[in-house]
Chain A
Amino acid sequence: GENVEQHPSTLSVQEGDSAVIKCTYSDSASNYFPWYKQELGKRPQLIIDIRSNVGEKKDQRIAVTLNKTAKHFSLHITETQPEDSAVYFCAATSNNNDMRFGAGTRLTVKP
């Protein structure tokens, strides 16, 4: 089955700086890559996703890039704000209803 690795496990940045979280996956058939944000004690919420026919997607300060050849995808947050502090999860899946999640990255944005 799919195996997703996520790095780093913790990330601390200064407010206004950029943050980058990277994930690799093992199953070349995976074609959907969502990113979830989870605040302390809350449910995971989708912040952005990308499909395998697209190399990059951007939504305001958040962007995701996908390199299918290398089987890795990354989340980029620019101009970070304290409210971006949370745990971020990447995930990967093919059309088999078996979404595999990375172990998570705890992002801390220092004011």
Chain B
Amino acid sequence: DAGITQSPRYKITETGRQVTLMCHQTWSHSYMFWYRQDLGHGLRLIYYSAAADITDKGEVSDGYVVSRSKTENFPLTLESATRSQTSVYFCASSAYRDSTDTQYFGPGTRLTVL
């Protein structure tokens, strides 16, 4: 589990500000994912990346931007934060070519948008 980390762990920001959440993994996993977790909704996929410079939208991508210039990093940016983006954000990674392989989750970032 220590192989995937997220920062910051807690963040409070204001509506309209840009916020970037960081995710770093040391396993050289090819696949990385961003989820948000809200009460009653379980985990919902925001974006995923199959490799460096390859990203694709998930179920709830509006208002979010990602990049993946290096295999080990997968930052998630909220370009103009809204209150509805208050959530717990989890990054995950997996080793193989498709998602039918174990996804390992980071410790999460609790984001509050005031």
Contacts and interface: CB of A to CB of B under 8 A. Distances in A.
Given A99-B45, A101-B44, A103-B41, A32 B108 contact: no
Contact of B99 (A1, A46, A97): A97
Interface stretch (A14-22, A64-72, A74-82, A88-96): A88-96
Contact of B59 (A6, A98, A104): A98
A98 B45 contact: yes
Nearest to B97: A95
A57 interface: no
Interface residues of B, number: 25
Interface string B26-48: 00000101000000111111001
B74 interface: no
Nearest to A2: B59
Given A43-B106, A43-B108, A99 B99 contact: yes
B107 A43 contact: yes
A6 B56 CA distance: 27
Contacts of A96: 98-99
Closest 4 CB pairs of A and B: A32-B100, A101-B42, A43-B105, A101-B43
A91 B48 CA distance: 16
A98 B100 contact: no
Query: Range of interface residues on chain A?
Result: 20 to 34
Interface of B: 1, 31, 33, 40-45, 48, 50, 56, 58-59, 90, 98-100, 102-108
Given A45-B105, A89-B43, A98 B58 contact: yes
Contacts of A104: 42
B103 to A, nearest CB: 7
13 contacts: A32-B99, A43-B105, A43-B106, A43-B108, A89-B43, A91-B43, A97-B33, A98-B99, A99-B99, A100-B45, A101-B43, A103-B41, A103-B42
Given A43-B90, A97-B31, A103 B40 contact: yes
Given A1-B59, A43-B90, A44-B90, 14 more contacts: A32-B99, A43-B1, A45-B105, A46-B104, A49-B102, A51-B100, A91-B43, A96-B98, A96-B99, A97-B98, A98-B48, A99-B45, A101-B42, A103-B42
